[in-house]
Amino acid sequence: MKVILDMDPGHDDALAILLVLAHPELEVVAITCCAGNAPLHRTVMNARVVLEVVGHQDVPVAKGLPAPLLRPLQTAPEVHGATGLDGPVPPEPSVPPVGEHAVRLLARLLLESDETVTLIPTGPLTNIAAALRMHPRISSNIERIVLMGGAVGEGNVTPSAEFNIWVDPEAAAVVFEAGVPITMVGLDVTHQALLYDRDLECIRRMGTRVSTFACELLEFYSRFHRGRYGWEVGPVHDACAVAEVLRPGIVQTRDMYVAVETSGVHTRGRTVCDVLGVTGERANAAVGLAIDRDAFVELLLEALASYR
Ligand code: RIB
Ligand code: CA
């Protein structure tokens, strides 16, 4: 199965990369980077750092759009640090990003592919929206979009909105209205898949370069979540989206109509999920409501243990 990751590494994006690359049944055709957790130049560097750590420098990394479609960029240094990947001392990446712009690369790879491609966006949807608008024909070659973003219930940036959607609501609206199959892996799911100290200890005991890198990421990442929520480590949001692609059904979903609020003062970036079907609108997304946490943690820890 061909996949393209569009992401804003970011600690949980990094874990998502480690998870997907431990599974050769998924061919990571490219990693396209967007701005979100950190500015674009940092997310591109961070994606390359993770690939260097796991020895997959062969995966093309492309630079995308540096800011949301219509709004100034808002980043999350309080969660991910100034570099966007604080914690580990990063290796110097040995391979530069590709010269092709991420939006162009996304479109070209989709149009040239002889089979459908699954998109796994785990950051703001700026690049995906731009690609859909500039090259509408790509829709027919997208198997599905399994995105980490949104929430049926509470938000994490505001009471209404989850970060990825909140950063670029207009882009999210384009994606949800594009008519492409979407699986929305939102906070209702990821907050059920928290990692705890015992999980971190399991990873620490693996004693490899990759497991040590993952531990250093999670130790830094846990500081924010311990302080904000009292959680031991926290939700590896983006790895949940990868897990759904690896094990379809690990996330329990319900088809429903989702609209994205782009103009609300208190509700900017909310994924308004029509749980009860009151709008009469046709469902445009399979919305995640729960996850098999044990299966998810087993999948993640097995992946980390597979690196030697
Ligand atoms: O709200 C969590 C999401 O925002 C995750 O993808 C995290 O990496 C940030 O991008
Ligand atoms: Ca992310």
pLDDT of amino acid 163: 98
Q: What's the CA gap between 102 and 120, in Å, rounded?
A: 14
Question: 271-273 and 258-260 as β-strands: parallel, antiparallel, unpaired?
Answer: antiparallel
Tell me whether residue 308 is exposed, middle or buried, using C-beta atoms within 10 angstroms of its C-beta: 0 to 12, 13 to 18, 19 or more: exposed
Query: Which tens digit of pLDDT belongs to each residue from 252-291?
Result: 999 999 999 999 999 999 999 999 999 999 999 999 999 9
pLDDT (average), residues 202-224: 98
Residue 206 DSSP one-character state: T
pLDDT of amino acid 17: 99
pLDDT of amino acid 294: 97
User: CB of 262 closer than 6 A to ligand 1?
Assistant: no
pLDDT of amino acid 152: 98
Q: How confident is the model at residue 7 (pLDDT cuts 50, 70, 90)?
A: very high
Joined tokens for residue 211: 């497991």
pLDDT of amino acid 214: 98
Q: How confident is the model at residue 61 (pLDDT cuts 50, 70, 90)?
A: very high
Q: What percent of the chain has pLDDT over 90?
A: 100
Cβ–Cβ under 8 Å, residues 155 and 270: yes
Taking the centre of ligand 2 as the mean of its atom positions, its distance from the CA of residue 201, in whole angstroms, is 24
Query: Which tens digit of pLDDT belongs to each residue from 164-187?
Result: 999 999 999 999 999 999 999 999
What average pLDDT does the structure give for the chain? 98
Q: What's the CA gap between 255 and 273, in Å, rounded?
A: 10
Q: What's the CA gap between 10 and 275, in Å, rounded?
A: 30
User: CB of 10 closer than 6 A to ligand 1?
Assistant: yes
Taking the centre of ligand 2 as the mean of its atom positions, its distance from the CA of residue 198, in whole angstroms, is 24
Active site residue 237: yes
Q: Which of 5, 13, 224 to mutate to test the pocket of ligand 1 (most atoms within 8 A of CB)?
A: 13
Please report how the helices 11-21 and 293-306 are oriented relative to each other, as an axis angle in degrees rounded to 10. Answer: 70
Q: How confident is the model at residue 87 (pLDDT cuts 50, 70, 90)?
A: very high
Residue 113 phi/psi, 5-degree rounding, is -65, 140
Q: How confident is the model at residue 88 (pLDDT cuts 50, 70, 90)?
A: very high
pLDDT (average), residues 89-102: 97
CA distances from 41 to 37, 65, 78, 106 (A): 11, 10, 18, 18
Q: What's the CA gap between 210 and 53, in Å, rounded?
A: 7
Query: Which tens digit of pLDDT belongs to each residue from 131-142?
Result: 999 999 999 999
Q: What's the CA gap between 89 and 213, in Å, rounded?
A: 9
Q: Is the pTM of this model over 0.95?
A: yes
CA distances from 145 to 76, 116, 124, 274, 301 (A): 24, 11, 13, 19, 25
Query: Where along the chain do its domains lie?
Result: 2-305
End-to-end CA distance of the chain: 24
Q: Which atom of ligand 1 is nearest to the CA of 122?
A: 6
Q: Which of 19, 73, 74, 122 to mutate to test the pocket of ligand 1 (most atoms within 8 A of CB)?
A: 122
User: CB of 75 closer than 6 A to ligand 1?
Assistant: no
Task: With CA atoms as reference, report the closest residue to 14 among 35, 55, 43.
Answer: 43
Cβ–Cβ under 8 Å, residues 137 and 111: yes
The third-level CATH classification (topology) of the domain covering 2-305 is Inosine-uridine Nucleoside N-ribohydrolase; Chain A (3.90.245)
Please tell me the residue having the least CA distance from ligand 1 atom 2. 163
Active-site residue, from 191, 225, 237, 266: 237
pLDDT (average), residues 198-207: 98
* Helix then strand then coil, % of the chain, to nearest 5: 40, 20, 40
